[in-house]
Structure 1
């Protein structure tokens, strides 16, 4: 168990760290190379693409992880059917979204199906307990490729749709390589009756939750652009770019332990599930709190990397840092909740969080711009973390910190 966190967890965090740095560099490149209005339009378009692709994924990836992780050797022959049952609805949803959004996103819309299918295939590899494809492809190839291609486009004077296409192209090789990585693990077998029904019975509530989560992560940028203009959207994106550190770190740890949590909770081993949860939370706090404290202290200087006009966003950075420290202290509460099968409860929690964010955004952004947007986002994050934290305590007695924390850290360090 310690080896899971020690090797896979830290590998996931390594990929998350590289991705966070690359995304930060990408924002610096765009804000330095283009006026605030044009930079804001780029950030809005890419946020919209990520939001829509997150919706079109239907959370099928987590459904695949659930079924693949629970499978035993004798049932591996049905896994190819689960993968096909997951891919078809997601692909259809992505194609529909691409057609609808083409007038708004241009050629970037045509890349949405590739983004969606690549994510689902990478999730299937994690169902087997393998982290390397996700770390190398999603954690390294995509963000580094985006920095190189967008930077090259900026040097060449490309703007508008050409810049967004440069951002989206790295998803093409990810799809090809993820599919190749699965071929050796999954024998292609006839489709077993009931496979799709089983998959989507579990995944359907989580599909809505995944869509809401995708909206929650990106809707603030779109609302700022609509209510306060693209220049304010650029300022808000720059000041909150560091929130990707927490998101990616949490994602990296969650990806590494999700399959183990599913197995532990399915087998009724709450002790083992609690140890995994507490070890992951401890590492999340140890590795991200120094980042947030440093960002809060250095915000006046860090924000000027984006350009002189971005120095006014220091209060936004302070709210961001404080909120992320609270969120990381709760650990990956939603992952644990869904690993226990409570997808409907997770959906209700996300609805409450998005509702809180949107209401606060509508009330605060017109008068306060980027600061109002980060306040709305912070309210949603608090709701999103505290609700499942209370539910896990009430139903399973699970806590992010406890008697397993220090022993788990010692065993993880040894591993």
Structure 2
């Protein structure tokens, strides 16, 4: 590994390590929210919460207008070019456009809430939709501001605010309001308060970054920003639609198991919680390296990040495949009906993890139109499969549609990345992880066979999976790259603020 590649890997590892720590806390908080809702509310109310939150997420991406990827990329590029005026102009333009769009969409959602709730066969959803309309400007500004701070190749604000503060605040407020007897409406208000306070902190963080550039003036290179962001916008809408549209379609078909499906999908996302934080750390470095033409470092970084994603994800996948029913029973006995859904979704997400941050490679290397085409085609495939499978097979059909669509788009992207930069997401780390994952899965299945189903089997199984996986990885040995990453994480740079 060259000195430059070593430096890039260390930088990604520092940011990725911080993001991973935040992602663990954030995913635990989100898991806690779902667990609280499932324990305190009935399945219908859990489904109502999921549909309202899906609406907020989809409209948030609509309001962002693609600036989440655009502002990160162009801040990184302008910093590489030592052009502070362009940095200031990019950030201010992104915040103004996305914030204004969110305000307009929020008003529209508030007015259309009764009509939309009726279309989803649930008039009681109106209150939740209106509270999501109130949250929309805050969540959009928070996303845009945190995306801007990542352009400095720093993950602190993104981690501390987006991954730790907002979900933990939402969890604590949800718990307090549910215990106080405010029910589902209280859970919705928890989203509102957490969203607005997180937005305030995010705007303060980006303001501190811009303050260091005072006196540089502002240059608005709107054409290239809007050109990139418009395509990225469509791409993000399609990508997020793939995640949430099945929930809304289940509601459209008046499926009674929307709550079960939502719990199963949230459980499976725990397995790939490492994907988002590592992507967030990888993206700015990739934009910087690609812009400077350092293609060897781009290829090495891509393979390295994919190996980390696979190795960090596989123990969770082994647990999901070995104990799907036992894990779902943590939310209540009725949710165990989603065991088959959990296994199917886990298979789709396993492909997602094994193909690495291929979408980020396309975006940050400027091939955002190609990534958009991938996402739109996949969303169309997902909708068609959902319309075909949900009426006959319910939540299992929705799971199959989602898993197939996710696998198809990621395999296509791997081929495209191979043609673009001549790299495949294959490394020694991936091989080590896959072998250790197979050993851990076998150990978990053995425990499930020997012990009767229940909490004891689950606890013993999780311990055995962790020990088997860690033991196999250590027996196979750590590479030089692994040791570089560990040193970077254990000896972080000091004195870097938000």
TM-superposition CA deviations, 1:283-319 (whole Å, max 9, x none) = 1011111101112212111111111111111111111
Deviation of residue 115 (structure 1)? Answer: 0.3
RMSD of aligned C-alpha atoms?
Answer: 1.8
Deviation of residue 3 (structure 1)? Answer: 1.6
TM-superposition CA deviations, 1:192-226 (whole Å, max 9, x none) = 3x522221122221111112222222111111122
Please, which of 173, 194, 216 is the counterpart of residue 149 of structure 1? Answer: 173
Q: Residue 84 of structure 2 corresponds to which residue in structure 1?
A: 76
Q: Residue 241 of structure 2 corresponds to which residue in structure 1?
A: 215
* Aligned ranges 1:370-381 → 2 under 5 Å: 370-381=395-406
* Aligned ranges 1:112-123 → 2 under 5 Å: 112-123=136-147
Please, which of 390, 394, 412 is the counterpart of residue 387 of structure 1? Answer: 412
Tell me the distance in 1 between the aligned counterparts of 2:44 and 2:427: 48
Higher relative contact order (CA closer than 8 Å, sequence separation 6+): 1
Q: Residue 200 of structure 1 corresponds to which residue in structure 2?
A: 226
The count of residues paired between Structure 1 and Structure 2 equals 413
Q: Residue 392 of structure 2 corresponds to which residue in structure 1?
A: 367
Q: Residue 285 of structure 1 corresponds to which residue in structure 2?
A: 310
Q: Residue 109 of structure 2 corresponds to which residue in structure 1?
A: 101
Tell me the distance in 2 between the aligned counterparts of 1:38 and 1:182: 37
Q: Residue 45 of structure 1 corresponds to which residue in structure 2?
A: 52
Q: Residue 152 of structure 2 corresponds to which residue in structure 1?
A: 128
Deviation of residue 253 (structure 1)? Answer: 0.2
**Residue 225 of structure 2 is aligned to residue 225 of structure 1:** no
TM-superposition CA deviations, 1:80-107 (whole Å, max 9, x none) = 2111211222122211221121124112
Normalising by structure 2, we get a TM-score of 0.80
Q: 1:274 to 1:408 in 2, by over 3 A?
A: farther
TM-superposition CA deviations, 1:176-204 (whole Å, max 9, x none) = 11222222321356443x52222112222
CA contact (8 A) 1:205 1:343 kept: yes
Q: Residue 266 of structure 1 corresponds to which residue in structure 2?
A: 291
Deviation of residue 407 (structure 1)? Answer: 4.3
CA contact (8 A) 2:307 2:427 kept: no
Gaps in structure 1 of 5+ consecutive residues: none
Deviation of residue 163 (structure 1)? Answer: 2.4
Tell me the distance in 2 between the aligned counterparts of 1:402 and 1:387: 19
CA contact (8 A) 2:67 2:233 kept: yes
**Structure 1 residue ranges (4+ consecutive) displaced by more than 4 angstroms after TM superposition:** 403-407
Gaps in structure 2 of 5+ consecutive residues: 1-7, 114-125, 431-478, 489-498
Q: Residue 412 of structure 1 corresponds to which residue in structure 2?
A: 485
Deviation of residue 271 (structure 1)? Answer: 0.9
CA contact (8 A) 1:228 1:369 kept: no
Tell me the distance in 1 between the aligned counterparts of 2:287 and 2:22: 23
Question: Bigger CA drift: 215-224 or 27-36?
Answer: 215-224
Deviation of residue 113 (structure 1)? Answer: 0.5
Deviation of residue 61 (structure 1)? Answer: 2.1
Deviation of residue 26 (structure 1)? Answer: 1.0
CA contact (8 A) 2:174 2:186 kept: no
Tell me the distance in 2 between the aligned counterparts of 1:78 and 1:208: 24
Deviation of residue 366 (structure 1)? Answer: 1.5
Question: Bigger CA drift: 200-209 or 398-407?
Answer: 398-407
**Residue 105 of structure 2 is aligned to residue 32 of structure 1:** no
Q: SS where residue 129 of structure 1 aligns?
A: coil
Question: Bigger CA drift: 239-248 or 313-322?
Answer: 239-248
Q: SS where residue 241 of structure 1 aligns?
A: helix
Structure with higher Rg: it is 2
CA contact (8 A) 2:66 2:231 kept: no
